């Protein structure tokens, strides 16, 4: 389990830096914020990844939450093996697109129709366009610390790894004109919401987009009353309420966060789990809104690999496993092997842990945050030490304090108990 010298990883990384900016295809993979040379994965199975130096790590990133069944689960591998011999992409329709769409419509009460895309970024971008097309209004409200992907209109005061880049604003290259119609408000802050909807802009809003269970500033679930207030506002001011369930969809239950809270949005974005580890995401919602998409309606959206058969079959195989009795209870019970003793251990410390279903995160030097402002005094250095301590002991968690750890069905009891003990050891060391 113990990490060894990672010489092959370092060589591959240094070579990659010659031809890929920062050596990575997504910034957080660089590990520079935690001052560790990045992992280079060779393979993974179940709950364990093997790096290029044959070190093993119990994986709590699980491809940023996409792999709820763990790495290379049999039901997914089986359908992929078949499909690989039958063609990987056609750019025209297959029956699998219909099958998974039907399954999602059956499972998620707010969804009557879906359109598949390849990434969560495309899903939220399309949802925004659809909302503006439907309402014929310009403004979008998002919440500080929520991350909805990397398209211009929503890359404002985002969570996830953008928090490191520029916590206040956005990315270079985003024109002020692209974000002047994006309003950002504090998460879970009903007063700020009420103040906005008392302003002269109140009837110019096309959509409010929210992560109902935020997973990009650590795990911070929305307050029920806050989501309820948003729902009421959407009726009163005729805008679309969009739930970004790219993380929470099929993670906290078959109906996602909307089922957990009993509050139905107008549109939902799903990603990660719906692709079963392959690139797929979707926008779903009322038929009346969804039918505005081309070719029926005049809101344009398209994609070369959208709904490709590998992702559709992997996603469908994953959803079929998740439908089995007791799966979400099992996931939560596994997660509590780690979270219950840690919650107890953190009681009389300045730190805290949040968990919901199979998501959890520890906030170093912050007690039970409700939004991004509450994270102002997050101890980044202590997070770095925590990350490095776990990595040395053969445990890989997402390399940012703004990300979420995920438990999968493949996590063994032995590895969960080992992880719990290592985290408890770290907490005791720091007391
Ligand atoms: C809540 C949320 N929405 C959207 C996205 C963007 O998805 P993708 O990285 O597939 O573009 C992410 C990515 O992590 C996310 O966490």
Summarised one tens digit per residue, pLDDT across range 48-102 is 999 999 999 999 999 999 999 999 999 999 999 999 999 999 999 999 999 999 9
Question: What angle in degrees, to the nearest 10, is found between the helix axes of 413-430 and 380-392?
Answer: 140
Residues annotated as catalytic (active site), given as ranges: 147, 244, 272
Asked if residue 165 has pLDDT above 80, the reply is no
Per-residue pLDDT, averaged over 376-396, amounts to 97
Q: How far apart are CA 264 and CA 55, in angstroms?
A: 45
Instruction: Say whether pTM exceeds 0.85.
Output: yes
Q: What is the pLDDT of residues 282-336, one digit of tens each?
A: 999 999 999 999 999 999 999 999 999 999 999 999 999 999 999 999 999 999 9
Residue 141: helix, strand or coil by DSSP?
strand
Question: What angle in degrees, to the nearest 10, is found between the helix axes of 309-322 and 74-84?
Answer: 160
Q: Domain 75-322 is in which class?
A: alpha beta
Residue 280, ligand 1, Cβ within 6 A: no
Residue 71, ligand 1, Cβ within 6 A: no
Q: Which atom of ligand 1 is nearest to the CA of 149?
A: 6
Q: Among 3.40.190.10, 3.90.1150.10, 3.30.200.20, 3.10.129.10, name the CATH number for the domain at 7-60+326-430.
A: 3.90.1150.10
Contacts of 348-354 with CB under 8 Å at 24 or more apart are: 349/427, 349/431, 351/427, 354/218, 354/219, 354/220, 354/221
Residue 289, ligand 1, Cβ within 6 A: no
CA of 200 to the centre of ligand 1 (A): 32
180, two tokens: 């002047």
Asked if residue 177 has pLDDT above 70, the reply is yes
Mean pLDDT of the chain: 95
Per-residue pLDDT, averaged over 221-230, amounts to 98
In the chain, which residues fall in CATH 3.40.640.10? Answer: 75-322
In the chain, which residues fall in CATH 3.90.1150.10? Answer: 7-60+326-430
Residue 3, ligand 1, Cβ within 6 A: no
Q: How far apart are CA 274 and CA 156, in angstroms?
A: 26
pLDDT for residue 157: 76
CA of 271 to the centre of ligand 1 (A): 7
Residue 322: helix, strand or coil by DSSP?
helix
Main-chain dihedrals φ then ψ at residue 361, nearest 5 degrees: -155, 150
Q: What is the pLDDT of residues 107-146, one digit of tens each?
A: 999 999 999 999 999 999 999 999 999 999 999 999 999 9
pLDDT for residue 5: 56
Contact 208, 235 (CB under 8 A): no
Contact 157, 148 (CB under 8 A): no
88, two tokens: 């990987």
Helices (H), 147-205: 162-165, 176-179, 190-196
pLDDT for residue 149: 95
């Amino acid at each position: 389990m113990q990490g060894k010298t990672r010489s092959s990883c370092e060589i591959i990384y240094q070579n990659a830096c010659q031809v890929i900016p920062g050596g990575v295809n997504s910034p957080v993979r660089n590990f520079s914020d935690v001052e560790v040379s990045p992992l280079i994965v060779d393979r993974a199975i179940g709950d364990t990844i093997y790096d290029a130096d044959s070190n093993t790590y119990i994986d709590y990133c699980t491809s940023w939450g996409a792999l709820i069944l763990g790495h290379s689960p049999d039901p997914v591998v089986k359908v992929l093996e078949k499909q690989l011999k039958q063609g990987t992409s056609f750019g025209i329709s297959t029956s699998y697109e219909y099958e998974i769409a039907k399954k999602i419509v059956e499972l998620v009460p707010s969804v009557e129709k879906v359109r598949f895309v390849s990434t969560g970024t495309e899903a939220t971008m399309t949802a925004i366009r659809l909302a503006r097309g439907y309402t014929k209004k310009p403004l979008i409200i998002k919440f500080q610390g929520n991350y909805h992907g990397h398209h211009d209109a929503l890359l404002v005061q985002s969570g996830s790894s953008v928090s490191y880049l520029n916590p206040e604003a956005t990315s270079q290259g985003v024109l002020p004109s692209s974000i002047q119609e994006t309003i950002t408000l504090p998460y879970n802050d009903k007063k700020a919401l009420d103040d906005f909807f008392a302003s002269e802009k109140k009837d110019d809003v096309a959509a409010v987009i929210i992560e109902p269970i935020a997973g990009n500033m650590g795990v911070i679930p929305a307050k029920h009353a806050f989501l309820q207030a948003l729902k009421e506002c959407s009726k009163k001011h005729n805008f679309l309420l969009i739930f970004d369930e790219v993380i929470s969809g099929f993670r906290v239950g078959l109906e996602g966060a909307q089922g957990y809270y009993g509050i139905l949005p107008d549109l939902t974005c799903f990603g990660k789990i719906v692709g079963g580890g392959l690139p797929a995401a979707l926008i779903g919602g009322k038929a009346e809104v969804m039918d505005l998409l081309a070719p029926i309606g005049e809101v344009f959206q398209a994609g070369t690999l959208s709904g490709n058969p590998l992702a559709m079959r992997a996603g469908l195989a994953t959803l079929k496993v998740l439908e089995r009795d007791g799966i979400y209870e099992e996931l939560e019970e596994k997660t509590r092997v780690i979270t219950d003793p840690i919650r107890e251990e953190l009681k009389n410390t300045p730190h805290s842990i949040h968990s919901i279903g199979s998501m959890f995160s520890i906030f170093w030097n912050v007690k039970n945050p409700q939004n991004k402002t509450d994270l102002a005094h997050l101890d980044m250095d202590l997070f770095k030490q925590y990350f490095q301590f776990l990595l040395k002991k053969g445990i890989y968690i997402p390399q940012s304090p703004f990300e979420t750890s995920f438990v999968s069905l493949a996590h063994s009891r032995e590895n969960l108990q080992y992880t719990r003990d290592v985290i408890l050891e770290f907490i005791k060391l720091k007391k």
